[in-house]
């Protein structure tokens, strides 16, 4: 039977599928009020980007919404733009603090009057920002949004601000009330980024963390430096170099309370060694290794620093969620030495400690995490125990990752309890509880391009991509297999199959226990068991190219794609070719990049087996076709109009339902294969669906989108 009619629109299925959006809690900066009774938290990507909390009760006192800032000076932070309107953006805040009288709060160059409930220095900001060039970004053909590429910080007395303009390599000191310039500093080297500006506590010094490019204008031979200037005279005091690293913009620093010492993670290229230096001269006083005790194989690095008010303690947070307290004292042979006195485990999920702040009396330490079920934690400094947690800033998953570009970057565990996604922007995998949308933990994952859960839901398997070289002018990549324990986040093992021979691209099956590897020279395919590396079969068909490999969920069959229209079906136990399917796909109605194409291109159109291995679903731009594997006959055609890449499909575990998208921004469709009718229409989105996956019990459907949004759909009743 062939169904070529466009499916009729069904009644909205919100009665059947309920969306449970995944969320995380974030904190970028923390600051105590002068009396220690209030703590302010900041997260730049949240609508309520500043919150005030009562320290004693832990209750939220109020939230400050992010304002808009247009050219006419009526606001500050752009969240949208209408046609013909120019909006300006200042990079997120690196310095959050209360004024000495507790009446004002400053963040990112803005001074907010707490009693008035509004920004009080807009005139000075707008008059200053108008003078400098902007970076214009085309959002659509009829809309351009303009951003100033700069960071801004305000002095402790709120009278002076510093702004750093990356594109012009200029730093300016100016008055917050009028915008009048005091000093202008032209950096002689080409600047890639100026990502931290901060004043010393006494307001006499300001420091900038600058990433300088090399002579070719790129970061490959560039360097990072911390530069310190005297506010009164504009004189440069010193420059502290940070050793080069692969990931730039990972440097941090903090002033001591008396402004005499600067602590930074400039001691080594891994950002794990702390250096204490004089602010007036840059002379090094001492250095020590400052990360915590979890040591995650060299991946941990120092991510936050804070001095106690009496300068006797230095708190250090690292990328694995560990905080260490160090006692600073003067020695006989060296002017300063550090001794570790306490370790605090901020979270079991190994989230980075993004910010630290001591209370004015030095008795309480506040920490904020990148993701956590308790975004802010208050610690007793004397005994190292937690005495309060605050929820931080909630954020839906559309801000958790920059984007999803591959449908293999999302997975739901077979038991429907855990959702995993790859955060390509931060080289990590994030796990959520699918039942209550709570963030669970993160997994370090450099260059992982595909993830799947084991059949028992206890392990997550990742395929790690790395460049090997070229064979016959084709780009060949090695894809090692990494396994994590879901309950703990512990890496169980890492299997490198490159050592077994000269093998190229590879694919794991639905549960990560079978691995298919392509030999780029002979174009044969070897199927292995992931756990022990035992070879199950070798497939040899004399084909000129292998473009896709698809396992059947029941592990009986494997399909290989050799052209736009040609598929081969293999029996895994014997390695026997049992069927060849020739479709009617042509070049202009499907997407299929070749191996030598740009690796950033989207993945090929999806091809899926039904759970029982009896059907093969093949997606193209214009339709989805279903083929009977045993006979090689086409039995269904579902027409659709699709104008771009990103189409996705997923079978329900019982094989009766196919979930798919019709156009880039259309709702998800659920199609009953037995009746040939649409059973459900869920979710209208403005973004391309990039991943779909069902849980093993069919009760959970997870979808992700090109803007990074993840949506978890819970089935409330059985589909009919």
- 133-138: which pairs have CB atoms within 8 A and are 24 or more residues apart? 133/165, 133/167, 133/168, 134/88, 135/167
Rounded to the nearest 5°, which phi and psi values hold at 122? Answer: -60, -40
3 state DSSP class of 243: coil
User: 378: which strand partners?
Assistant: 366, 388
Residues 138 and 222 in one domain: no
Residue 573 lies in a domain: yes
Residues 340 and 431 in one domain: no
The pLDDT value given to residue 138: 34
Least reliable range by pLDDT among 114-123, 204-213, 643-652:
643-652
Residues 239 and 165 in one domain: no
Average pLDDT over residues 1-24: 48
Nearest residue to 559 (alpha-carbon basis) of 609, 598, 596, 606: 609
pLDDT in tens, 140-177: 333 333 344 457 788 999 998 888 777 678 888 888 88
Residues 504 and 610 in one domain: yes
Residues 114 and 261 in one domain: no
- Mean residue pLDDT of the chain comes to 75
Burial environment of residue 138 by CB neighbours within 10 A (0 to 12, 13 to 18, 19 or more): exposed
Residue 617 lies in a domain: yes
Residue 656 lies in a domain: yes
Residue 34 lies in a domain: no
Residues 164 and 76 in one domain: yes
Residue 73 has pLDDT above 70, yes or no: no
Given the structure tokens 């106690």, which residue do they identify? 308
Residues 127 and 193 in one domain: no
The pLDDT value given to residue 591: 52
Q: What is the CATH number of the domain that holds 270?
A: 2.130.10.10
Nearest residue to 90 (alpha-carbon basis) of 102, 76, 103, 100: 76
Longest pairwise C-alpha distance within the chain = 90
Residue 380 lies in a domain: no
Least reliable range by pLDDT among 61-75, 114-128, 285-299, 375-389:
61-75
Residue 601 lies in a domain: yes
Rounded to the nearest 5°, which phi and psi values hold at 221? Answer: -125, 15
Rounded to the nearest 5°, which phi and psi values hold at 220? Answer: -60, -30
Contact 205, 279 (CB under 8 A): yes
Residue 579 lies in a domain: yes
pLDDT in tens, 357-389: 999 999 999 998 866 566 888 999 998 888 888
Residue 569 structural domain: 13-20+400-715
Residues 482 and 613 in one domain: yes
Rounded to the nearest 5°, which phi and psi values hold at 235? Answer: -75, 135
pLDDT in tens, 288-298: 887 655 544 44
Residues 432 and 556 in one domain: yes
Centre a 10 Å sphere on the Cβ of residue 512 and count the other Cβ atoms it contains.
24
Q: How many structural domains is the chain composed of?
A: 3
The pLDDT value given to residue 361: 94
Residues 150 and 229 in one domain: no
Residues 292 and 176 in one domain: no
Residue 78 lies in a domain: yes
The pLDDT value given to residue 98: 94
Q: Are strands 566-571 and 576-582 parallel, antiparallel or unpaired?
A: antiparallel
Q: What secondary structure, in 3-state letters, does 166-223 show? A: CCCCEEEEEECCCCCEEEEEECCCCEEEEEEEEECCCCCEEEEEEEECCCCCCHHHCE
Residue 348 has pLDDT above 70, yes or no: no
Domain final residue pick, 335, 358, 381 = 358
pLDDT in tens, 384-419: 888 888 888 776 544 444 333 345 678 888 888 888
CA 618 to the chain's CA centroid: 31
- How many Å apart are CA 371 and CA 399, to the nearest integer? 12
pLDDT band for 592, please (50, 70, 90 cuts).
Answer: low
- How many Å apart are CA 378 and CA 355, to the nearest integer? 12
Tokens for 105, please give them: 């709060």
pLDDT in tens, 672-710: 888 877 777 776 666 677 778 888 888 888 887 766 677
Residues 259 and 407 in one domain: no
Contact 569, 618 (CB under 8 A): no
Q: Are strands 410-412 and 557-561 parallel, antiparallel or unpaired?
A: unpaired
Centre a 10 Å sphere on the Cβ of residue 279 and count the other Cβ atoms it contains.
22
Tokens for 372, please give them: 């956590």
């Amino acid at each position: 039977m062939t169904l070529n009619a466009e499916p009729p629109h069904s009644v909205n299925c919100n009665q059947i599928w309920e969306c449970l959006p995944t969320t995380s809690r974030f904190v970028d900066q923390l600051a105590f009020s002068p009396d220690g009774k209030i703590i302010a938290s900041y997260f730049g990507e949240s609508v309520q980007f500043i919150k005030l909390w009562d320290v004693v009760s832990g209750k939220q006192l109020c939230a400050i919404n992010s304002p808009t800032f247009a050219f006419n000076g009526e606001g500050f932070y752009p969240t949208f733009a209408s046609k013909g309107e120019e909006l300006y953006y200042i990079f997120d805040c690196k310095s959050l603090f209360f004024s000495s009288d507790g009446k004002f709060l400053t963040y990112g160059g803005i001074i907010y009057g707490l009693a008035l409930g509004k920004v009080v220095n807009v005139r000075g900001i707008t008059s200053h920002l108008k003078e400098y060039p902007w970076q214009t970004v085309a959002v659509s053909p009829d809309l351009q949004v303009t951003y100033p590429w700069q960071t801004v910080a305000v002095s402790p007395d709120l009278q002076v601000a510093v702004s750093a303009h990356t594109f012009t390599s200029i730093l300016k000191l100016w008055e917050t009330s009028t915008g009048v310039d005091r000093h202008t500093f032209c950096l002689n080297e080409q600047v890639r980024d100026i990502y931290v500006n901060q004043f010393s506590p006494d307001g006499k010094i300001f420091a900038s963390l600058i990433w300088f490019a090399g002579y070719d204008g790129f970061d490959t031979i560039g360097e990072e430096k911390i530069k310190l200037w005297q506010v009164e005279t504009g004189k440069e005091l010193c420059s502290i170099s940070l050793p080069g690293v692969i990931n730039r913009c990972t440097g941090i620093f903090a002033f001591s309370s008396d402004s005499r010492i600067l602590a930074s993670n400039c001691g080594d290229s891994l950002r794990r060694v702390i250096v204490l230096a004089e602010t007036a001269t840059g002379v090094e006083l001492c250095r020590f290794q400052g990360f915590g005790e979890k040591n995650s194989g060299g991946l941990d690095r120092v991510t936050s620093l804070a001095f106690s008010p009496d300068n006797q303690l230095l708190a250090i947070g690292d990328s694995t969620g560990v905080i260490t307290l160090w006692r600073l004292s003067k020695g006989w042979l060296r002017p300063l030495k550090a001794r570790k006195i306490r370790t605090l485990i901020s979270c079991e999920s190994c989230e980075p400690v993004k910010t630290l702040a001591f209370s004015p009396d030095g008795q309480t330490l506040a920490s904020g995490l990148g993701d956590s079920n308790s975004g802010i934690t208050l610690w007793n400094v004397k005994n190292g125990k937690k005495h309060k947690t605050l929820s931080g800033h909630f954020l839906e998953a559309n801000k958790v990752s920059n984007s999803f570009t591959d449908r293999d970057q999302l997975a739901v565990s077979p038991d429907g309890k855990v959702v995993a996604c790859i955060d390509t922007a931060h080289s990590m995998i994030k796990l959520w509880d699918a039942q209550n949308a709570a963030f669970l933990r993160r997994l370090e994952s450099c260059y992982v391009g595909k993830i799947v859960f084991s059949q028992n839901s206890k392990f997550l398997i990742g395929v790690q991509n790395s460049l090997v070289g070229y064979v016959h002018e084709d780009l060949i990549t090695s894809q090692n297999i990494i396994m994590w324990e879901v309950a703990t986040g512990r890496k169980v093992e890492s299997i490198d199959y490159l050592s077994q021979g000269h093998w190229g691209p590879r694919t794991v099956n639905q549960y990560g226990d079978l691995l298919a590897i392509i030999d780029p020279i002979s174009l044969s395919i070897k199927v292995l068991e992931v756990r022990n590396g035992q070879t199950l079969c070798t497939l040899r068909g004399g084909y000129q190219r292998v473009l896709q490999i698809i396992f059947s969920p029941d592990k009986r069959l494997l399909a290989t794609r050799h052209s736009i229209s040609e598929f081969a079906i293999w029996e895994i136990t014997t390695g026997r070719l049992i069927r060849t399917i020739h479709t009617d796909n042509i070049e202009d109605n499907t997407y299929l990049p070749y191996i030598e194409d740009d690796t950033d291109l989207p993945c090929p159109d999806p091809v899926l087996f039904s759970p029982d291995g009896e059907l093969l679903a093949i997606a193209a731009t214009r339709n989805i076709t279903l083929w009977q594997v045993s006979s090689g006959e086409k039995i269904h055609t579902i027409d659709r109009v699709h104008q771009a890449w990103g189409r996705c499909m997923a079978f329900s575990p019982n094989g009766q339902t196919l979930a798919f998208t019709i156009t880039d921004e259309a709702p998800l469709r659920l199609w009953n294969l037995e009746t040939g009718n649409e059973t459900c229409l869920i979710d209208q989105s403005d973004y391309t669906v990039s991943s779909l996956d069902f849980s093993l019990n069919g009760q959970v459907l997870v979808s992700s989108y090109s803007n990074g949004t993840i949506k978890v759909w819970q089935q409330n009743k059985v589909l009919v």
